[in-house]
Amino acid sequence: MAEFKQDMPPPGGYRPISFKRVPAKGLFNGYTLFAVHHRELESKGASLAIYPLLLAERDRAYLKQLRRNREEERELMKNVPGWKVGTWYGEPIYKLAKPDTLIEPGTFDYLAHVKYRDFKKRTEMDINT
C-alpha cells in the first residue's frame, strides 16, 4: 500500500496575491464613439431615404391584390344575371359612401383569392415557417 503524503506549500511559501483594483482599459475612445455615431447616422439616413420607396411598393402590392380580387369576382360571377362587380346585385355595398371612396377590405376579404400557402404566410398562421 502506498504511503499517504500531504500536499504542502512550496518552500518559501506562495507569492503574495494581488488584490488591488485594476481599472479596465477603456472600451470606447473618442474615435470609436465618433465612428459608431457616424455609422448609426448613415444607417438612419439610408433608412429614411428608402422609406418612401418601401411605402410605394407596399401600396402597389395592395392595389394589385385588390385588382386581382376584382378580376376574380368578375370571372366567378360572369354567369350570374344582374351581377355587377363591386356591388351586391347592383346595390352598392356601402350605401352612404361616395362612389369613389376606397373601402379597405378586411384581412380575410383581402386574401380571399390567394393560394392557401400564401394566406398562411401573410396571416402568420403557419407555425413551421
Give tens-digit pLDDT for 2-25. Answer: 788 888 889 998 999 888 888 877
For residue 100, give its domain range.
67-123
Residue 58 domain flag: no
44: confidence class by pLDDT, cuts 50, 70, 90: very high
pTM over 0.85: no
pLDDT in tens, 69-98: 999 999 999 999 888 988 888 888 888 888
120 contact partners, CB below 8 Å, separation of at least 6: 126, 129
Question: Would you say residue 22 lies in a domain?
Answer: no
Within a domain: residue 48? no
pLDDT of residue 128: 64
Q: Which residues pair with 92 in a beta bridge?
A: 87
Total domain count for the chain?
1
Residue 36 lies in a domain: no
Among residues 99, 114, 106, which one has the least CA distance to residue 64? 114
Domain annotation covers residue 71: yes
Residue 74 lies in a domain: yes
Q: Which parts of 13-96 are beta strand (E)?
A: 87-88, 91-92
Residue 81 belongs to a domain: yes
The answer to whether 120 and 127 have CB atoms below 8 angstroms apart is no
* pLDDT for res 62: 92
In a domain? residue 129: no
